[in-house]
Amino acid sequence: MALEHAILVSLAERSATGYDLARRFDASIGRFWKASHQQIYKVLARMEADGWTSAEHIAQGARPDKKVYALTEAGRGELIAWLARATPPEQVRSEFAVKIRALHLLDRVTVLDAVRARRADHQARLDGYDLSMSKFFPDPSALAEEEIGPYLALRGGIRLERNGIDWCNEIIETLENR
């Protein structure tokens, strides 16, 4: 896919400026797709040229002018078409896992420290997700139609971090018991 489809998803939720999108990519959507503002502005310009979005220029006295992007019918069509297309299984790319493979080249203490640091890292993100969960979905048994997706995506994030923690624990235990 590409960034443009993630932007389509975000704009379908709410129209936004490039700046807004960049912040969303730092928070919710960004759990599964990171993007810098530089990238976003470039792609946004291309999407406008392709007719997927339309921009409304808004002058603000004190603050800088802004361009609010909204989905066009064509953009919405492309979004639906993309959603319906089969998703190729994405490949994992984990520097940590590559290092784990070669762990016997390092002394045990260094490895254990690194694994504990990574576990703390997973835990910190998990704490953030738990907070989002209680803030945005306090009652998961009563979700509005458009909330199911974001809820399940957040659940996916939580599972990912928990899984990361479990793996770290397994590594630590395996190394300590020998």
Partner DNA sequence: GGGCGCATGTAAAGCGTTACATGATTGC
Partner DNA sequence: GCAATCATGTAACGCTTTACATGCGCCC
Pattern 9-28, its own copies, x by CB under 8 A: x--x----------------
Alpha carbons 140 and 148: distance in angstroms, whole number = 9
Alpha carbons 115 and 103: distance in angstroms, whole number = 11
Pattern 29-58, its own copies, x by CB under 8 A: xxxxxx------------------------
Report, in Å, the least distance between residue 1 CB and DNA.
8
Q: In sequence order, what are the residues at sequence separation of 6 or more whose Cβ sits closer than 8 angstroms to the Cβ of residue 150?
A: 28, 136
Phi, psi of 138 (to 5 degrees): -65, -30
Q: Does 121 bind its own copies (CB under 8 A)?
A: yes
Beta carbons of 148 and 165 less than 8 angstroms apart: no
Nearest in space to 44 (alpha carbons), one of 13, 90, 77, 11: 11
List contacts with its own copies (CB under 8 A): 1, 5-6, 9, 12, 29-34, 79-80, 82-84, 86-106, 110, 114, 117-118, 121, 125, 145-146, 148-153, 155-157, 159-160, 163, 166-167, 170-171, 174-175
List contacts with DNA (CB under 7 A): 2-3, 17-20, 22-23, 34-39, 41-42, 44-45, 60, 62-67, 91
